[in-house]
A and B are shown apart, each in its own frame.
Chain A
C-alpha cells in the first residue's frame, strides 16, 4: 500500500473506533471522562515504558487501561467523599497527567516519547514504524494496534449490546435486575482507554477527544435508534478522518488538527440540517 494509503486507513480506523465508543460516552453523559482519560493514559504509557523500556502496542494498551481505570476509580472515590463530580474530574486528570509529564521529562527523555507528540500526535510518521505480519506483510505498528482495538471494541459492544443499552438508559433498573452496573462502567472506561491509547500516535491526546465526542454527538441528532446511532457515528468518524486528511494535504497543515476540525464541521451541518433535531426543522 502507498504511504498515503496507510495514513488514510489509519485515520479511518481512528474515526471508526472513536465514533463507536463515543456513542456510549454521550449517552452515559460522560463526555468529559474522555477528556480526562485522554490525558491520563499518558501516565499509563509512560509507566509501561519505564517498566518494559519499550514503546510497544500491548504494553501501552495495558498501561492505558490501568491509567483509565485509575482515573475512573479516583473520580468515583472523590465523588463519594463529597467532591463535586466535575471538580473531582478536573483534579484527578490534571494531577495524573502532570505526573506523566514529569516522568517523561525526568526518566524517559531519550525515548520515542515527548509531550508535543503525546498531545498532538503525528500521523505522518506512522507508515515508517512497521511490523511484519504473516501473509499481509509490512504494516505500520499503529495501524495494527488500531485494528486490534477496533475488533475488541466491536466485539465487546455487540456481545453486551443490551446490557450497554440498559445500563446507559436506566442504571437503577439494570441494577435491580442484577446487571453489574459498576463493573460495566469500568469495562466501558477500559474500552475508552484502549481506544485512546491506540489513537494516540495518530491524533494525540487532545484531538482524540474530538474524535470520541463530536461524531457521536452529531449522530445523536440524526436518529432515534441506538444501532443507527452507532453506525452513523462510526461513519461520521471515518468521513471526518478522511476528509480531514485531504483538507490538511490541500492547505498544508496539521492532519490531526484538520481531522478534528472536520468533526466540528460534520456536527455543525447536523446541527443545522438534521431532519429531527436540526435548527431549520425547529423554526420551519
Chain B
C-alpha cells in the first residue's frame, strides 16, 4: 500500500483556554478528495490552520510527504474562508490571483508578464476571464470565491486545503468549483475541503472526515457516510430525515 501523503498524529490545539482539537489522528492518501464535516465549533477551520502552522499546535505532529510543513509549504495551496479578507481592498481580480505566485516570484522581484498570463489562464479556467480587471468589491460572493480558487490553482501545489469554498455561493460557482476539484483529483492532486452541506457529501467527495474536536470517523465516503456516524458527530441534535438522499440536512453556519 502507498505511503500516506499527509500524516497527522496526536494533534491538539486550543483557542484561548478552550481546547478545540484534541488527539487528532489521520492519514490521507495521495489523489483523494476529502470532505471535512462536523458541527459548528468542531474545529474544522482550526484543523486546517493548525496543519498549516497558522495556528499553534499544543501537541502532536503534522507531516506532508514525510516532511514537516516548513519544508513542504511550496507544494501546499491554501484557500482561506472568503470572509477572512477585506474585499474593499484596492485591487482587481487578476492582481489577487497573481498573489498566489508571490511565493514563486521571490523577494525583490515584481510579477512579470508571464505571471500575469498564468493568473489570467487560471481566471479563465474558473470562468472569470471577463472579470480580470474588475475591482474585487464589485464581484459577487460566488465570483470572489472563484477568484480565490484561481489563486490557489496558480500555485500548482500538490496538496490543497480549502476552507468552506462552497459556503454561500451560487449554483454556477458551486458547479465550477466542483468541476475543478474533481479535475485536480483526476490529475493526482490531494484535496481537503471543509464542507457544510451534508446532502452533497456523497456526490462530491470520495473520502469523508467526521470531525468534532477529534476525528469521529475517517474513510471512504461509501463505507462510513452513515446515519450512525452523522449522529455521533453532530451529537444527535440533527434531525436526519429518512434515507441519505431525502430531506435537507445542513449544519447551519
A residues contacting B by CB (< 8 A) are: 27, 29, 82, 159-163, 165-166, 168-170, 172-179, 220, 223-226, 228-229
Give A234 Cβ to nearest chain B Cβ, in Å.
Answer: 15
Task: Find out whether the CB atom of A178 lies under 8 angstroms from the CB atom of B73.
Answer: yes
Task: Find out whether the CB atom of B86 lies under 8 angstroms from the CB atom of A162.
Answer: no
The listed residue (B84, B92, B105) touching A162 by CB distance below 8 A is: B105
Q: Which residues of B contact A165 (CB under 8 A)?
A: 91, 99
The listed residue (B54, B80, B90, B155) touching A223 by CB distance below 8 A is: B90
Task: Find out whether the CB atom of B84 lies under 8 angstroms from the CB atom of A82.
Answer: no
The listed residue (B16, B80, B103) touching A170 by CB distance below 8 A is: B80
Q: Tell me the residues in window 85-110 of chain B with beta carbons closer than 8 Å to chain A beta carbons.
A: 85-86, 89-92, 96, 99-100, 102-103, 105, 107-108, 110
B residues contacting A by CB (< 8 A) are: 16, 49, 52-54, 73-74, 76, 78, 80, 84-86, 89-92, 96, 99-100, 102-103, 105, 107-108, 110-111, 135, 137, 151, 155
Determine the distance from Cα of A44 to Cα of B224 in the docked complex, in whole angstroms.
Answer: 62
Task: Find out whether the CB atom of A168 lies under 8 angstroms from the CB atom of B89.
Answer: yes
The listed residue (B53, B80, B84, B99) touching A166 by CB distance below 8 A is: B99
Q: Which of B85, B90, B107 has the most CB of A within 10 A?
A: B90
Q: Which residues of B contact A229 (CB under 8 A)?
A: 90
Task: Find out whether the CB atom of B53 lies under 8 angstroms from the CB atom of A175.
Answer: yes
Task: Find out whether the CB atom of B78 lies under 8 angstroms from the CB atom of A176.
Answer: yes
Task: Find out whether the CB atom of A176 lies under 8 angstroms from the CB atom of B76.
Answer: yes
Q: Which residues of B contact A166 (CB under 8 A)?
A: 99, 102
Determine the distance from Cα of A159 to Cα of B109 in the docked complex, in whole angstroms.
Answer: 8
Give the nearest-CB partner of A176 in chain B.
Answer: B78
Determine the distance from Cα of A282 to Cα of B114 in the docked complex, in whole angstroms.
Answer: 39
Given contacts A162-B102, A166-B99, contact A177 B90 (CB under 8 A): no
Task: Find out whether the CB atom of B84 lies under 8 angstroms from the CB atom of A170.
Answer: yes
Task: Find out whether the CB atom of B89 lies under 8 angstroms from the CB atom of A173.
Answer: no
Determine the distance from Cα of A269 to Cα of B48 in the docked complex, in whole angstroms.
Answer: 45
Given contacts A169-B96, A172-B84, contact A161 B110 (CB under 8 A): yes
